[in-house]
């Protein structure tokens, strides 16, 4: 927790029974609307004594910052929008499942299916993640500082997965449209994905993403894994290194 947040008085403190969608909505409805303020000025909410709870903080659709002392169980922050959630401790499976926007930052490890079916927003895991991380990803970004298990990015249609450590076997299985950046070793690539050159525009983009996720490292240390069909498209239709529409 940053120094500024540690001294900030929370606008609300959530009890364990308020972590479920219905009481959570009711509690947050009492907050003053935050309007167009910057995320760092959004109301701060703390959740206390919630360690080990499953299905916590699901369906959040408020411009708020939430600080949680974990660990949390399965499905934490599933189907969220807008909210910026920091979880201090590990989480179970399917963290941030189906998230549309906002961010979930996990200061610990994540179980299987982290970020499954995310459509937008950012999931950052500052530990290791289990198998099938980013399965069915259709937008947004997932960052894992450590290693990921088998079949990361399986069935991903879009979005970006950044892996700071090693990847297990079957990386990118059944993936189309998404991009994976990996820094460590890859046990094996799935048949229809390839390692593609990291071009200047991807290097720049990855550098920005790393800064945004507060992950140390140089973009040039990463390799780019994309679907074979996407690579062939790139090869057949070369575009200039400077392309204003790259992002």
Partner 1 sequence: MSVSPLLDEIGLLPPPLATPWEDGAESAEEEAVPERWAAAPPLFWYDPPWHFVPAPTARQIASTVDAVGIPTAALGCELGEEDIGDVMLRHSIAAVRPDRYGLAIGDLNAAAVVDLRLARSRDAHGRFAYGRSQLQRWLAEPTGEDETLDLPDSVPAPGWPPELTSLGELAGKFRQYRAFQRRVRCAVSITPYRIFDELAAVLEAKPDIVILRMDDSDEFSGIRLASVIAAALDVIRTHHRATRLWVVPPCEPTPDDCVKMLALGVEAVAVDWWCQPLINAAIQQGGTLTDAPAQLREHVLDILSERMERMVGLIHSCGASGPAELRPSHLYSPSTTIARRLGISSQT
Residue 96 in contact with partner 1, rule: CB under 8 A: no
Residue 185 beta carbon to partner 1: minimum distance, rounded to whole angstroms? 22
Selected from 12, 69, 157, 198, the binder of partner 1 by CB under 8 A is: 157
From the list 69, 141, 71, the residue with the least C-alpha distance to 110 is 71
From the list 84, 85, 82, 55, the residue with the least C-alpha distance to 68 is 85
What CA–CA distances, in Å, run from 177 to 92, 163, 180, 243?
27, 17, 10, 19
Would you tell me how many other CB atoms lie within 10 Å of the CB of residue 2? 9
Residue 60 beta carbon to partner 1: minimum distance, rounded to whole angstroms? 10
- Residue nearer to partner 1 on the CB measure, 193 or 210: 193
- Residue nearer to partner 1 on the CB measure, 112 or 183: 112
* Number of residues in contact with partner 1 under rule CB under 8 A: 39
Q: Which residue has the tokens 């974990």?
A: 70
From the list 4-12, 36-44, 90-98, 194-202, the region that binds partner 1 by CB under 8 A is 90-98
Residue 9 beta carbon to partner 1: minimum distance, rounded to whole angstroms? 30
Please say whether the beta carbons of 162 and 222 come within 8 A: yes
- Residue nearer to partner 1 on the CB measure, 22 or 36: 22
Residue 55 in contact with partner 1, rule: CB under 8 A: yes
Residue 193 in contact with partner 1, rule: CB under 8 A: no
Residue 207 in contact with partner 1, rule: CB under 8 A: no
- Backbone torsion region of residue 245, taken as left when φ is above 0, otherwise alpha when ψ lies between -120 and 50, otherwise beta: alpha
Selected from 43, 90, 113, 170, the binder of partner 1 by CB under 8 A is: 113
Residue 26 in contact with partner 1, rule: CB under 8 A: no
- Residue nearer to partner 1 on the CB measure, 65 or 132: 132
How many Å from the N-terminal Cα to the C-terminal Cα in the chain? 31
Residue 74 in contact with partner 1, rule: CB under 8 A: yes
How is 51-86 classified by DSSP, letter by letter? TT-SSTTTT-BSS-EEEEES---TTTTTT-BS-EEE
Contact footprint for partner 1 (CB under 8 A)? 20-22, 54-55, 58-59, 61, 74-75, 78-79, 93-94, 97-98, 100, 111-113, 116-117, 131-132, 135-136, 138-139, 151, 154-155, 157-158, 174, 176-177, 227, 229-230
């Amino acid at each position: 927790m940053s120094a500024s947040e540690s001294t900030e008085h929370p606008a609300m403190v959530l009890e364990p029974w308020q972590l479920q969608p219905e009481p959570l909505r009711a509690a947050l409805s009492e907050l003053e609307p935050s309007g167009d303020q910057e995320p760092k000025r959004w109301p701060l909410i703390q959740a206390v004594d919630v360690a080990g709870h499953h299905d916590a903080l699901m369906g959040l659709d408020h411009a708020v910052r939430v600080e949680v002392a974990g660990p949390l169980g399965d499905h934490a922050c599933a189907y969220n929008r807008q909210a910026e959630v920091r979880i201090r401790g590990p989480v179970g499976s399917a963290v941030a499942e189906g998230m549309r926007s906002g961010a979930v930052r996990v200061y610990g490890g994540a179980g299987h299916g982290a970020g499954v079916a995310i459509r937008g927003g950012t999931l950052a895991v500052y530990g290791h993640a289990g198998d099938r991380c980013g399965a069915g990803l259709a937008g947004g970004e997932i960052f894992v500082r450590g290693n990921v298990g088998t079949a990361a990015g399986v069935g991903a249609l879009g979005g970006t997965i950044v892996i700071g450590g090693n990847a297990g076997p079957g990386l990118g299985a059944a993936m189309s449209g998404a991009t994976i950046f990996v820094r460590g070793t890859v046990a094996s690539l799935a048949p229809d994905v390839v390692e593609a050159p990291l071009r200047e525009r991807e290097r720049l983009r990855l550098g920005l993403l790393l800064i945004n996720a507060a992950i140390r490292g140089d973009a040039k240390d990463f390799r780019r894994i994309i679907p074979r069909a996407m690579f062939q498209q790139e090869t057949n239709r070369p575009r200039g290194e400077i392309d204003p529409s790259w992002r």
